Amino acid sequence: MWRVKSLDAILATAQKKSLHRSLGAFQLTLLGVGAIIGTGIFVLTAAASQKAGPGMMLSFVIAGAVCAVAALCYSELAAMAPVSGSAYTYTYAVMGELLAWMVGWALILEYAVAAGAVSVGWSGYVLGLIENAAGFDWPDALQAGPAWSMNGFIPSPDFSAGIINVPA
């Protein structure tokens, strides 16, 4: 549970089962910038500006500084252990097998939730494009998922918001 894998063992395993590198520094930088910026900056900016006003710019500066520090940490770890595996491998080398397992599953959950959030955000843009370009008004039941309400301790779907978000 708490065993760690040494950096030499990680590098030796990577040499035996190495993936072929095809991305260069420029492509990886663009991939990192795209992952850090994400879709939220395009989808939620209007809603955030209505609530925070000019303070939103300060929050973007703080978030940018935090993202820069995180990117520097990942680049340091990637230079120290240039193998595939991302945060799982780094955690396995430093903290142990149990925490690495938890980090791996947290990454899978993060990617699933992020993909869902991005698809819902872009769904709004697609629906706006269809409505403005074709003049077609999408039915309300097919442009939003159900809202969940708590019935005591049991969550139950409230279909008054919608049934399914088809474009997402």
Please give the pLDDT value at position 31.
Answer: 77
In degrees, rounded to 5, the angle at the alpha carbon of residue 62 between the alpha carbons of residues 51 and 41 is: 55
Distance (Å, rounded) from C-alpha 2 to C-alpha 131? 56
pLDDT at 78 (0 to 100): 79
Contact 151, 160 (CB under 8 A): no
Query: Is residue 51 pLDDT above 70, yes or no?
Result: yes
> For the segment 70-115, what is each residue's pLDDT rounded down to a tens digit?
888 888 887 877 777 778 888 888 888 899 899 999 988 988 887 7
Whether the per-residue pLDDT at 3 is higher than 80: the answer is no
**Quick one: tokens of 114?**
């992020």
In this prediction, residue 103 carries a pLDDT of: 92
Backbone angles phi, psi at 162, to 5 degrees: 170, 175
Average per-residue pLDDT in the chain?
A: 80
Q: Has residue 59 got a pLDDT over 70?
A: yes
Q: How far apart are CA 138 and CA 144, in angstroms?
A: 10
Q: What percent of the chain has pLDDT over 70?
A: 84
Q: Tell me the domain boundaries of the chain.
A: 7-98
